[in-house]
Amino acid sequence: MIRLLDALRRERNGDAAASMRYYGVRYGLNYGVSLPAVRALARAEGTDPAFAGYLFAQDVRELKIAALWIADPGALDAAGAERWAAGLVNSELAAEAALALLSRVDDFGPLFAAWTAPERPWPVQYAALLGAARNAGRRTAWLDAAADVVRRNPDNGLLADAAVAFLAAVAECPQGRDAVVRTLAALGDSAAAEHVREELAWRLAE
C-alpha cells in the first residue's frame, strides 16, 4: 500500500481535489489523481482480493478506486458484495464499481436484485443499474427492478441516467426492444420517468 500511495502522490492534482470537495464529493484524503492514472496503477498490481479489501477499507479516494480494479469479480460472494456495497457512498465510487467490478461478475442477477432493493442507499442502486448496463449477462428479467428504482426515486436524475444506460443496453439484445417499450410505459409520471422516456425515445427510433 505504501508503494502504491507513493505512486499516487506523484500524480496528485490539488485543483481536482478541491473541485471535488466543492461539489460535495468528499473523502478523508483525496489526491485528485485522474481516474485513468488510478486505473493504470491498479492494473499494474494485478488481481488480489485480500489486498483489494484492505485498500477499500482506507479512507483515501485513490485507494478505494484502485481496490475496485484489483478485486476479483470471480471471487465475489454474497458477503463480499455486502462489504463493497457498504463503501459506495457517492456517485464516483458507484460508477467506478460498475465499470471495474460489476460489469465482470458472471452471475450478476442475484447481486442486481439485492442492490436494487428499496432499502439500499441510492449510490448502491446507481452502481447496480450501471453495472447491469455494462454486464454481458444483462437480462430483460431485470427490467422490472430497474423500473421500480425509477418509480421510488422520482426526482433523482443520476438514477434516471443509470436507468437510461441499462434500458438502452437491453434494447440492443434479442427481444429486448419490445420489453423496454413496455417498461417505459410502466414508469409512471415523474421527472425521472419523463427523463428516461425522452432519452430512450430517440434511441428506440433509430
The string of pLDDT tens digits covering residues 74-86 is 888 888 899 999 9
Residue 17 has pLDDT above 80, yes or no: no
Percent of the chain at pLDDT exceeding 70: 98
CB atoms within 10 A of CB 140: 18
CA dist 102 and 117 (Å) reads 16
Alpha carbon separation from 50 to 46, 54, 176, 179 (Å, rounded): 12, 6, 38, 40
pLDDT band at 200 (very low <50, low <70, confident <90, very high): very high
What was the pLDDT predicted at 175? 83
What was the pLDDT predicted at 24? 66
Beta bridge partners of 60: 29
pLDDT in tens, 128-153: 999 999 998 778 899 999 999 999 99
Residue 25 has pLDDT above 70, yes or no: yes
* Cβ neighbours for 147, distance < 8 A, ≥ 6 positions apart: 163, 183, 186, 187
Three-class DSSP category at 200: helix
Among 165, 170, 168, smallest CA distance to 99 is for 165
Grid-cell match 457517492, residue found: 90
For residue 122, the one-letter residue type is W
The pTM of this model reads: 0.92
Say if CB 93 and CB 126 are below 8 A apart: no
Say if CB 163 and CB 132 are below 8 A apart: no
